[in-house]
Structure 1
Amino acid sequence: MNAVPPIRIRKINDASVNDKGCYILYWMISNRRVRCNFSLQRAVEWAVRLKKPIVVLEALRSGYPWASDRFHRFIIDGMADNIRMLQNHGFVHYYPYVEPHADAGKGLLANLAKESCIVITDDFPAFFLPKMVDAASKKIPVKLEAVDSNGLLPLRGTDRTYPTAFAFRRLLQKVLPDHLLAYPEIDPLKGLRLPAAVAPPETILKRWPEALNLMENGEVDLGRIPINHNVPPSRLKGGAREARKRLLEFIHRRLSGYETDRNHPDEDAASGLSPYLHFGHISAHEVFQEIADSEEWFIHKLSEKAQGKKYGWWGMRASAEAFLDELVTWRELGYNMCVFRKDYAQYESLPDWAKATLLTHEMDRRPYLYDRAALEDAQTHDPLWNAAQRQLVREGRIHNYLRMLWGKKILEWSLSPREAVEVMIELNNKYALDGRDPNSYSGIFWCLGRYDRPWGPERPILGKVRYMSTKNTARKLRIQDYLAAWGPEVEL
């Protein structure tokens, strides 16, 4: 087994390894999968070194921001998959825990850690997870390591943020080849011989019961958990099995036309993988490898020129390179922002030129003004925008191209740019399966100028921020089937 690259391992506290502990504890918080998981691979390294079994704790809080039936169900789908994938490994005890009420899980991690040699967790740079890990580090009596399994480029593969996708792409083309050789194990548990699994003490299991009963026959009773029941589960099923199924379906049916069809809502040519990447049900490494295999690609096909160009560097077909630009460049650009800017979700994080031009036009007259309730209920004059909002509320996603229009119009229809940011974050994080994610915040703030440049002519309200028109969008794109599915057909 290859070692986890040191650049992906971060020491969180100053405690020591307890050689006399009963097990290696993997606290699974964002890489909610078995395959291609550097965190689990690191836990295996310690298990082999110390000759100990592994306990995998996957806990689901009920009191986190925007907790709802939609997100709980998606995560619990993944837990059910993890049960199936881990149950045949006699040296692993999988411990799924779902809080019955807010703060009921307090003390669980610390008590499990007391019996462990070391705790391994996931290094995710956004939402409440960094603060949660930091708080836990003060209560865990053994060494705590956070492992980065987020993308092809390690989070600390650079030491600064990048202002544009072009600049970040050029960096990737310079440094990524070395990291592509350090690939996570597809199945880090395969072929291992370790001591038999050790169940946590009965006192722990009694106080914090395992959530196996929530997953019997695939049925999940969410009604007794104090979360938002007004955001129902999406028709999209979560979990590693569904993620891999969607990946292979995308490659076989839609990848070849991705470059030309992805912007057309009627074609629905996107991969649909963003929720699964967000919840860690599939790895960016696994997605990349399947794309590469379908292209019969090897690393020697990479161009030696790091010019920051979107096409030509990978040595694949244009459709595959267009998809990889989304998966690697744009997705990991968002992670880069979250690592180095703690204000990544705040208005102040916008580039200076964007803040200046929006301030200049902040008092411009708005032809249309909608409060958050009207926007949430898709009660605007714009049928295409309403359709996108309905898709978000009902399905938990918006077509990728229309997501940009969605944000631009909220900026135009709000009292101020700051209010627009607040509304976008609230609606996106409340309903989107891939919300609360670095890539999702990139999309929101792109609508106000992040990763972009000043545009002319200068316009009311937006100033020099890039403008998007519903009429132009409707004229360029095939949208009739989309409007029929998510809203009435109206001439735009």
Structure 2
Amino acid sequence: MLRVSRRLMSMVDETRISRLNDEDVRGNGKFVLYWMQESVRSRYNHALEYAVERANEVKVPLLAVYGVDESFPETNERHKAFLLEGLAEAQKNLGRRGIKLLIVNHPPKETVSKLQKDAACVVVDRGYVRIVREWRQEVAEASTCAVFQVETDVVVPVEVTSNKEETAARTIRKKIEGRLDTYLKKVQEVPLEHDSPENVDLHGLQLLDISDIESALASLSLDCSVWRVKTFLGGEDQASKQLQLFLDTRLKHYGKRNEPSVDITSNMSPYLHYGNISPIEIALKVRPLRKKYPDEVKSFLEELIVRRELAFNLVFYNDAYDSFDVIPNYAKITLMEHADDKRPYLYTEEQLERAMTHDIYWNAAQAEMVLTGKMHTYMRMYWGKKILEWTSGPREAFDIALRLNNKYNIDGRDPNSFTGIAWCFGKHDQGWAEREIFGKVRYMNSAGLERKFDMKGYVRRINKIRSGHEGWENPPGLLKYFNKRSADLNGLSKPSKRRNNKRSGLPF
């Protein structure tokens, strides 16, 4: 059997490319298989362009595939709706380039293992959380052709930036910024020389028709208790619209991004999580505005590149990223020393999930997440800190915060999400003056919110979403309960200091 050389020239920087097995590229393969998993987009996608190069070199068509996994941990209707919306746009846009994207109703490992039998080689984007890394390795070990992994969802490849877990933004910033000239470059689109084949042997795999998203969702076995939202629609075209809106109307106000009463954030996190847009594309569109909005652009790029890639560094190098054990020793020790401190309030996970607390600001944040699929960035920090304060111990608090975050936020289960929860418990932070419950971990309170922000305005904004049912559709079991209760805007004041479980604010 003819085999193609292992060393292949590419326009993609070689530090983005890694081989996952020792097999060769098959010269008699019927197509190059692009396994799309993390990067659901047709633009600014190094993995896709590398796959096109390989197909052109071997003189075969390119076939793209996505395996829909109904059993992915913590997945639900909300997550899958956003995913399918993104896949529909990717399928359409790839088709314009002569690339067929098969949406297969089977787990990714099974899907790729079967289709690789006819492939010259397999190209896959890089994943970072545990389960998707395991998928790639297991597929590569079982494959009879070469499997290439191409890193395309960070600006600087994780292992190029650092060979260890970094402790804070200050330790990783220079390592990233010193490499931006090399890696922050436009991704050139490679013309495809051979269109995808009309007929493909699916080896018994079943295609999922996503021409009607509602019907496609109904055909899947999903947790439907977390309903589909319409606040954010998935897909690379939708991501581009959100980005343009940010550039045109919000970036100039980015210095006030922590103000919860107004929505001036970029809203890029759901699209970054599902790979609908590249951080490189975002950065290259924001950078030209440096002269006009120097401070705002600097702050935004710090969040988009340095802080985000610090999160990827954590998930890649610390296997405990999704547990209490991820936090640094100082935080672990001090929190456990104060684990038995008396709590001013104690709430169950169900009470927290339904926003049945005494704190109207916390309730508003929880309502925002449940109703829209995204919580304001600053409020998510306050939200996490209060779960630590109002539950029986730090380990329980960590688990509850992570479960609620992953369940309702569209950008849940992301390196940024895992890192954000860990930050609430002391990760990537420093020790502070010791106090009850928190020990030396940073404390936040409602008085601080009121001192800095228009919190009445924030509650009014969330009430408007609630009363108009904006961003949600037919929430099973919660709509009736939610509409029975409302916040008394005329009586807004600081949360009660009474030590009980009195309900107020925005329960649903």
- Does 1:209 pair with 2:213? no
Q: Does 2:290 align with 1:295?
A: yes
In the alignment, which of 245, 248, 251 is matched to residue 247 of structure 2? 251
Amino acid at match of 2:102: Y
Distance 2:86 2:172 in 1: 32
Q: 1:335 maps to what in 2?
A: 312
Q: What whole-Å deviation, never above 9, does each CA across 1:369-423 have from its counterpart, x for those lacking one? A: 1111111111111110011011111111110100000000001111111111110
Q: How many angstroms apart in 1 are the aligned matches of 2:222 and 2:20? A: 31
| Structure 1 residue 445 corresponds to structure 2 residue 449 | no
Q: Contact 2:290–2:298 (CA<8 Å) still a contact in 1?
A: no
SS in 1 for 2:52: helix
Alignment correspondent of 1:382: 359
Report what 1:480 is aligned to. Answer: 456
Instruction: Work out the CA distance in 1 between the residues paired with 2:33 and 2:121.
Output: 6
Letter paired with 1:344 = Y
Letter in 2 for 1:491: S
Measured after TM superposition, the shift of residue 296 of structure 1 is 6.5
Cα deviation, residue 176, structure 1: 3.0
RMSD of aligned Cα (Å): 1.8
Q: Which residue of 2 aligns with 1:63?
A: 71
Shift of 1:2: 6.6
Deviates more, 1:133-142 or 1:19-28: 133-142
- Counting only pairs closer than 5 Å after superposition, residues 257-272 of structure 1 correspond to structure 2 as 257-259=253-255, 261-272=256-267
1:374-453 matches, within 5 Å, as 374-453=351-430
1:116 equivalent in structure 2: 119
Q: Which residue of 2 aligns with 1:491?
A: 493
Q: Is the 8 A contact 2:184 2:284 kept in 1?
A: no
Q: Report the secondary structure of 1:267's partner residue.
A: coil
Structure 1 residue ranges (4+ consecutive) displaced by more than 6 angstroms after TM superposition: none
Preserved CA contact (<8 Å) 2:130 2:319 = no
Q: Distance in 2 between matches of 1:93 and 1:127?
A: 29
Contact 1:127 1:436 in 2 (8 A): no
Q: C-alpha deviations, 1:284-323, integer Å up to 9, x for none?
A: 00000110133369xxxxxxxxxxxxxxxxxx70011111
Bigger shift: residues 62-71 or 404-413: 62-71
Written as runs of structure 1 = structure 2, the 5 A alignment for 1:16-165 is 16-90=24-98, 92-99=99-106, 107-157=110-160, 158-165=162-169
Q: Which residue identity lines up with residue 419 of structure 2 in the other structure?
A: S
String of CA shifts for 1:439-466, please: whole Å, max 9, x gaps: 111110000110000011x110000000
* 2:21 paired residue number: 13
User: Percent of counterpart pairs with the same letter?
Assistant: 32
- Using the TM superposition, name which of 161-170 and 15-24 deviates more: 161-170
- Equivalent residue of 1:222, what SS? helix
Distance 2:10 2:142 in 1: 31
Amino acid at match of 1:467: Y
Q: Residue 397 of structure 1 aligns to a residue in which SS?
A: coil
Unaligned segments of structure 1, at least 5 residues: 298-315
* Native 8 Å contact 2:10 2:50 kept in 1: no
Kept in 2: contact 1:8–1:156 (CA 8 A) = no
Partners of 1:89 and 1:164 lie apart in 2 by 42
Question: 1:53: how far off?
Answer: 1.0
Cα deviation 1:65-109 (Å, max 9, x = unaligned): 12211111101111111122122233x22211234xxx5x66321
**Structure 1, residues 326-359: CA drift from partner, whole Å, max 9, x if none?**
1011111000111111111122221111111112
Distance 1:395 1:32, change over 3 A: same
Unmatched tracts of structure 2, length 5 or more: 1-8, 464-486, 495-508
The corresponding residue for 1:300 is none
Q: How does 1:285-364 map to 2 (within 5 A)?
A: 285-295=280-290, 317-364=294-341
Q: Residue 347 of structure 2 contacts residue 390 of structure 2 at CA under 8 Å; is this kept in 1?
A: yes
TM-score by length of 2: 0.87
TM-score, reference length from structure 1: 0.89
Task: Verify: 1:282 aligned to 2:280, yes or no.
Answer: no
Q: Is the Cα–Cα contact under 8 Å of residues 8 and 155 in structure 1 kept in the other structure?
A: no
CA distance in 2, matches of 1:131, 1:106: 10
Partner SS, residue 120 of structure 2: strand
The AA in structure 2 aligned to 1:240 is E
Q: 1:247-282 deviations in whole A, cap 9, x for unaligned?
A: 0110110101101x2011112110001000000000
Partner in structure 1 of residue 440 of structure 2: 464
